[in-house]
Amino acid sequence: MSRFRQGDIIKIEGYNNLFYIISKNSFIKATGVFHVCPVLSNIKEGPLHIKVGDAGIVVCEQIKLIDPSARACNKVSDTEYADIMNISDAIQGIFEYD
């Protein structure tokens, strides 16, 4: 099983900022890869920019797919379930129909 889980905040070698894992645990387990959004400190909160603890602001519209076997990734911390729910809802809202 992967050592990474939805809601983890990770550091990816070669990047200055942190990243937030948004993929469901079942997706991570089945594929071995996960989607992330950057965590930044120099932007304002908003509907798609959600604060997570003291780590910073998750930029929900900047989704990237990461293969941890191809990149050096390290878990920095995790977040509360309420944060996972808020971020998942914001991302789902991007793709809903009108």
Q: Which stretch of DSSP H or E encloses residue 57?
A: strand 56-59
Structure-block tokens of residue 52: 């997570």
What does CATH list as the number for 9-93?
Answer: 2.30.30.110
Angle made by CA atoms 84, 67, 88, in degrees to the nearest 5: 15
**What is the model's pLDDT at position 88?**
96
pLDDT of 20-58, one tens digit each? 999 999 999 999 999 999 999 999 999 999 999 999 999
Residue 1, pLDDT above cutoff 70:
no
Q: How confident is the model at residue 98 (pLDDT cuts 50, 70, 90)?
A: confident
Put simply, whether the predicted model's pTM sits higher than 0.75 gets the answer: yes
